Structure 1
Amino acid sequence: MDRKIFRLAIPNIISNITVPLIGLANIGIAGHLDSAKYIGAMSLGVTIFNMIYWNFSFLRMSTSGFTSQALGARNLTEATSVLLRSVIVSVSLGVLIILLQYPIGQFAFRFILSGEEIKGYVEAYFRICVWGAPAVLTMYAFNGWFLGMQNAKTPMFIAIFNNILNIGLNFTFVFGLGMDIEGIALGTLLSQIITLAVTVTVWSLKYGRLKKYLRYADLWNKVALRSFFKVNADVFVRTFLLTIVTGFFTFASSSMGDTLLAVNALLMEFFMLFSYFMDGFAYAGEALTGKFVGAGDRKNLKAMIRRLFFWGFLVNLVAVIAYSFFPGELISLLTDKAEVIRVAKSYTFWTVLIPITGFAAFLWDGVFIGATLSKEMRNTMIFASMMFFACYFIAVPLLGNNGLWLSFILYLGMRAFVQTVIARKRLKLI
């Protein structure tokens, strides 16, 4: 079982680690420009797109869950149909975002409480990157499908290609051509479009033979479509609340001044680094859970979950040690601003609590997605989000930025606790 987990987890860990490296590199590029305001602007710009794209991450999750279950049941016709359904929906939603970019942008900019200069940087970043929406959402569908087919290596190589290309283009535009935040945005956009073209080519070469299994009558099967959109609706609500919490965290930071905005942006990279690393195991659990559920193999499902949490705990332990003993070194990699580094060190205690309180939530997410337990994921997030905002409005007036971090840590802990309770009861029915 460990071999099956690591065969999927290691490629996903490698590809996932390269994702925050883009954020770290972009923050690092912004942190070495002539003003600390670029750090805050980058954080706000990325947060806006996170709030947009994360809401559509159901495209990856549902595609992975349905594909892995179809594979477990050895139904290649349905597995192929799942990809085409997801691609059609992804492209349609991406085009819709482009058409609605002005009202979306104006709505998001209203929540930025920093000065006009930072708002201007954020708007410039948004107006360029928004054109990559169809490519980004379509990549969600392909990545979910690859994972559902128990193939983690192809997404890994594609992710590495995308991230190296992104970082290379950003360095070229900013330091080679003298551009600032617009150069970062342009590099990001071009890498998204090029990577999608490469992905489609790779799929055609590796899986083109599956076209013979596609039945257009099955593509629009009412039962399959109803299940597809029901799960997507539940996961959308879950992900929408997740983006509300993380987005609110950043926008709330913008009301505390430019320095604390930059500090919280840097420290949240600790969370992103841990989450993408832990998601490598969650994705493995996602693919294997779907396969075992589709095959009706309850024995291996339970064995896999036990081993998944064993390895997840070890990853959690490594993160706790790194964040406890090397916070200053990690922060210094992201910025050379002495004041930002000094203030950030006083809040690193909270980053140590991130892996402790949250690692189980990441792993349960993978299991729930693979089993398409979308309703349970939705309800868990509703409860945890309510706890976050209740704590925020009580703690922040009393504790300031510490209260904001306390609210976030409570939110992570509640997700893990509720999911554990649900899993102990619900998974017995599988």
Structure 2
Amino acid sequence: MDNWNKEILRLAIPSIISNVTVPLLGLVDLAVVGHIGNEAYISAIAVGSMIFNVMYWLLGFLRMGTSGMTSQACGRQDGQECVDILVRTLIIGVGIGLLFIVAQRGIEWGMLRLMNTPEGSWQFVAAYFRIVIWGAPAMLGLYGLTGWFIGMQDTRTPMVVAVLQNVVNILASLFFVFVFNWKISGVAGGTVLAQWTGFIVSLFAVYRRMKKEGELELVTGQNICAGLQMTFRHILTVKSGWGEFFRVNKDIFLRTLCLVAVNFFFTSAGGKQGAMMLAVNTLLMTLFTLFSYMMDGFAYAGEALSGKFYGARDMAGLRITVRRLFGFGIIMVLMFTAVYVFGGVGFLHLLTDDTAVVTAARPYLFWAYLIPVAGMAAFVLDGVFIGLTATKGMLFSTAVAMVTFFAVYYLLWGSFGNNALWIAFLSFLFMRGVASVLWARRYSTIF
């Protein structure tokens, strides 16, 4: 294996591990309350976790935008700009988190109704929300820190932090619930403690990196306090950095809204067909989720490496990186397609012992086989676009794909039923890739 592939895998593998641990925070909470003995608690955790997933997903630009801008500054070996970007994203992320705390009652009122919270779970969801909301500054600050580490070509630190968060969450939740008998409040308290632990540990990792002499010193020739004071003065007086920050993140935010629209509609359209079809679509979507965890790891590697080479004006290195990423993407397509074709039914049985659901899912399993080939290109080029801060390409491709999704669905729904929903979703994935390639061809340096 040559150095190019080793470098991609060095960045991709820790990112894949981090991605897999992300949903564990919610699953741990669900598992703990599942042993309390009250179904209202389980419903409360499910709804409460979904509320925060929606809130934080919409603010994912804090990670992605930071990653692209930092990787370019890293490629230029501009240490002061790396610090500027970090402080800028922390100001925005922690600031939004504090605003969430201030406006928590209004957010609570709106989200509980938006999520159609069952009446019996209302008080428990509210109790969970009012505690977990205090972790918002930590979570949103951690988004920026994670993006910054990726841009600095370091995916190992976010992986360690993600694993640590889950360990803290498990231990704290068990202790608060079964020792202090805090029930739903104990689960929420464990989540908040894990979030702040991850944030503080990440800040400490930044501090250690700033002090360490090596390949890229972030504050050269100064102590940390003096360097940060200079950084604050600099970022508050230089408007160009803020303009670039908001330009990049605006496109990513609008692109996220398109993704949210498609995903929410997919779930809603399945639910309108009844509980059985909703269960079928939910099970089959786990096959997409698994593939996305793997491909996101390579996308993160693409963010780090493409941004670094672009910042260093090493266009040959950028082209080689993109080609190698597509090479890994093709390997993933072949591997996941084979696993789904030969082991898809067995995997569904692992997820549920309800044979009726598995039987109902079989006619639609073919569409899940096509997920890897339909979605690979979009994942790879999303990472490249973030690294180049070519976020208009991401917005363009996702908007075109969203329009395609709704057009295909409404054209086919009357004749094909739930098959139309899956054809529309695959069209969405495929069109994202096609539109991304067309946009990328505008950059002669990519291909």
TM-score range normalised by the length of the shorter chain? 0.7 to 0.9
Q: In 2, distance between residues paired with 1:408 and 1:219?
A: 42
Segment of structure 1 superposing worse, 116-125 or 413-422: 116-125
Q: 1:39 to 1:11 in 2, by over 3 A?
A: same
| Conserved 8 A contact 2:322-2:446 | no
- Name the amino acid aligned to 2:166: N
Cross-structure match for 2:260: 243
The offset of 1:87, in angstroms, is: 0.3
State yes or no: 1:218 paired with 2:221: no
Cross-structure match for 2:391: 374
Q: 1:112 to 1:272 in 2, by over 3 A?
A: same
Residue of 147, 150, 171 corresponding to 2:150: 147
Segment of structure 1 superposing worse, 84-93 or 56-65: 56-65
Q: In 2, distance between residues paired with 1:270 and 1:36?
A: 27
Residue of 327, 333, 340 corresponding to 2:344: 327
Q: In 2, distance between residues paired with 1:285 and 1:50?
A: 25
Cross-structure match for 1:413: 430
Q: 1:158 to 1:265 in 2, by over 3 A?
A: same
Residue of 157, 161, 165 corresponding to 2:168: 165
Segment of structure 1 superposing worse, 104-113 or 349-358: 104-113
Cross-structure match for 1:361: 378
Q: 1:267 to 1:189 in 2, by over 3 A?
A: farther
Q: 1:267-308: per-residue Cα shift (whole Å, max 9, x none)?
A: 333322221211111111110111111110101100111011
Q: In 2, distance between residues paired with 1:26 and 1:310?
A: 38
State yes or no: 1:384 paired with 2:401: yes
Cross-structure match for 2:93: 90
The offset of 1:154, in angstroms, is: 1.1
Q: 1:223-247: per-residue Cα shift (whole Å, max 9, x none)?
A: 1111111111111111122122223
Segment of structure 1 superposing worse, 321-330 or 221-230: 321-330
| Conserved 8 A contact 1:328-1:341 | yes
Please give the secondary structure, in 2, of the residue aligned with 1:326: helix
Q: 1:124 to 1:348 in 2, by over 3 A?
A: farther
Alignment of 1:153-302 (within 5 A): 153-169=156-172, 185-208=188-211, 210-211=218-219, 212=222, 213-214=227-228, 215-216=230-231, 217-220=233-236, 221-302=238-319
Segment of structure 1 superposing worse, 401-410 or 66-75: 401-410
Q: 1:91-150: per-residue Cα shift (whole Å, max 9, x none)?
A: 111122233334434444444468655777766654543332211111111011111111
| Higher radius of gyration, 1 or 2 | 2
Residue of 70, 84, 87 corresponding to 1:67: 70
Q: In 1, distance between residues paired with 2:36 and 2:337?
A: 31
RMSD over aligned Cα, in angstroms?
3.2
| Conserved 8 A contact 1:32-1:335 | no
- Name the amino acid aligned to 1:317: L
- Name the amino acid aligned to 1:219: I
- Name the amino acid aligned to 1:75: D
Residue of 25, 44, 48 corresponding to 2:51: 48
State yes or no: 1:2 paired with 2:5: yes
Segment of structure 1 superposing worse, 14-23 or 402-411: 14-23
Residue of 76, 80, 89 corresponding to 1:77: 80
Segment of structure 1 superposing worse, 395-404 or 235-244: 395-404
Residue of 319, 322, 346 corresponding to 1:305: 322
The offset of 1:40, in angstroms, is: 7.8
Q: 1:134-179: per-residue Cα shift (whole Å, max 9, x none)?
A: 1111111101111111111111111121233335555667788888
Q: 1:160 to 1:34 in 2, by over 3 A?
A: same
Q: In 2, distance between residues paired with 1:28 and 1:395?
A: 40
Q: 1:184 to 1:249 in 2, by over 3 A?
A: farther
Q: 1:97 to 1:389 in 2, by over 3 A?
A: farther
Q: In 1, distance between residues paired with 2:95 and 2:182?
A: 32
Q: In 2, distance between residues paired with 1:352 and 1:39?
A: 32
| Structure 2 gap segments, 5+ residues each | 213-217
Segment of structure 1 superposing worse, 103-112 or 54-63: 103-112
- Name the amino acid aligned to 1:280: G
| Conserved 8 A contact 2:28-2:169 | no
Q: 1:160-210: per-residue Cα shift (whole Å, max 9, x none)?
A: 212333355556677888888776555433321222122222222333453
Q: In 1, distance between residues paired with 2:395 and 2:328?
A: 26
- Name the amino acid aligned to 2:95: S
Q: In 2, distance between residues paired with 1:349 and 1:384?
A: 21
| Structure 1 gap segments, 5+ residues each | none
Q: In 2, distance between residues paired with 1:69 and 1:247?
A: 34
Please give the secondary structure, in 1, of the residue aligned with 2:154: coil
Cross-structure match for 2:20: 17
The offset of 1:357, in angstroms, is: 0.7
Q: 1:339-376: per-residue Cα shift (whole Å, max 9, x none)?
A: 44444445433332222211111110000000000111
Residue of 333, 336, 357 corresponding to 1:316: 333
Segment of structure 1 superposing worse, 415-424 or 259-268: 259-268
